[in-house]
Amino acid sequence: MKRAAFLILLLCPLLSYGQNRTLINPLLPAGADPWSVYKDGYYYYTHTTGRNLTLWKTRSLAELARAEKKIVWTPPDTGPYSKEIWAPELHHIDGKWYFYFAADDGRNRNHRLWVLENSARDPLQGTWKMKGQIITPDDKWAIDGTVFEHRGQLYLVWSG
């Protein structure tokens, strides 16, 4: 009897294995590395497009598909941050907007972290200025950077 009960419990998960289940994202049809920040009554959303930095602005994340959308920065055709724009994050720090992202020159091993700055109140307005590469101690492959404050000090963590 115990053996039969054990086999039933073991095989039950297989009953749902063959069912075709598809999850359809109710917000947007695609978007790796999503990031959202809330400021002054608006959500600002971004995700990896691979080729630029795009922002969506909405009062409700449920309305993201119909939100105002703008490409706020396009990389140069060549150079160290011209290709494979990954994992963008938007942060509002000391009255300015900062866009952190990873990029390379077309060779993945050269992925590094970069930051742009915009002093406009609305990050879809104003001018995004390249502040430069975030130099890591070992100057190795770096992606997925994020900024946080702890006890009044800003920190950046990344994968690499």
Phi, psi of 13 (to 5 degrees): -60, -25
The CATH number for 79's domain is 2.115.10.20
Domain hosting residue 153, numbered range: 28-159
3 state SS of 11: helix
Q: What is the pLDDT of residue 13?
A: 59
Specify the number of domains making up the chain. 1
Q: What span, in angstroms and rounded, lies between the C-alpha atoms of 160 and 146? A: 13
Residue 155 tokens, joined: 């920190």
| Cα distances (angstroms) measured from residue 7 to each of 16, 17, 19 | 16, 16, 21
Mean pLDDT, rounded, for 9-14: 53
| All residues at 6 or more sequence positions from 57 whose CB lies less than 8 Å from its CB, including other chains | 42, 43, 44, 45, 67, 68, 69, 70, 122, 124
Question: In residues, how long is the chain?
Answer: 160
Q: What is the band of 30 on the pLDDT scale with cuts at 50, 70, 90?
A: confident
Mean pLDDT, rounded, for 17-33: 74
Q: Is residue 15 part of a domain?
A: no
